[in-house]
Amino acid sequence: MDLASDASHTAGMPAIQTEVVGVDPSSLGTFIESARSDEGLPLEDWNLELDLNTPDAQTLAEAARLLRESAIPVAFPTETVYGLGADATRSSSVLGIFKTKQRPSDNPLIVHIASIQQLRCLLLGSRSATAPSLYEPITDPIPDIYKPLIQRFWPGPLTILLPVPEFSPLAEETTAGLQTFGARMPRNILALALIKLADRPIAAPSANASGKPSPTAAEHVLHDLNGRIELIIDGGPCDVGVESTVVDGLVKPPVVLRPGGVSLAELRSVPGWADVKIGYDDQAAKDGSPRAPGMKYRHYSPKAKVFLLEKRRRLTVKAMEAATGPKRRIGIIRTKQWKRPAEEDWAAEDDHVPEESAPEEEGPSAAQKSDPHTFTPTLAQMLAEQAKYQATHIDECQIQEHGDPITVLDVKIGPDTKDIARGLFSALRALDAKEVDAIFVEGIDDEHGDDLAAAVMNRLRKAAETQVL
The pLDDT mean for the chain works out to 83
The yes-or-no verdict on residue 106 having pLDDT over 60 is yes
Residue 127 pLDDT: 81
Q: What is the mean pLDDT of residues 339-348?
A: 76
426 confidence band (pLDDT: 50, 70, 90): confident
**Same-domain check for residues 456 and 322:** yes
**Same-domain check for residues 257 and 339:** no
Residue 323 pLDDT: 76
Q: What is the mean pLDDT of residues 291-307?
A: 66
392 confidence band (pLDDT: 50, 70, 90): confident
**Same-domain check for residues 214 and 260:** yes
3 confidence band (pLDDT: 50, 70, 90): very low
431 lies in some domain: yes
**Same-domain check for residues 272 and 337:** no
**Same-domain check for residues 114 and 260:** yes
**Same-domain check for residues 309 and 270:** no
pTM for the model: 0.81
Q: Which is more confident, 360 or 157?
A: 157
433 lies in some domain: yes
394 lies in some domain: yes
Task: Say what percent of the chain tops pLDDT 70.
Answer: 79
**Same-domain check for residues 269 and 328:** no
**Same-domain check for residues 189 and 268:** yes
Cβ partners under 8 Å of residue 202, min gap 6: 67, 83, 85, 86, 87, 88, 111, 112, 113, 194, 195
- Residue 341 belongs to what domain range? 305-345+376-464
Cβ partners under 8 Å of residue 85, min gap 6: 67, 73, 74, 75, 76, 112, 194, 202, 203, 204
The yes-or-no verdict on residue 395 having pLDDT over 50 is yes
Q: What is the DSSP string of 64-133?
A: HHHHHH-SS-EEE--SSS-EEEEETT-HHHHHHHHHHHT--TTS--EEE-SSHHHHHHHHTT-S-SSSPP
pLDDT in tens, 162-171: 999 999 999 9
Task: Say what percent of the chain tops pLDDT 90.
Answer: 51
**Same-domain check for residues 120 and 70:** yes
First vs last Cα of the chain: how many Å apart? 45
CATH number, domain with residue 395: 3.40.50
Least confident of 25-29, 209-213, 325-329, 419-423: 325-329
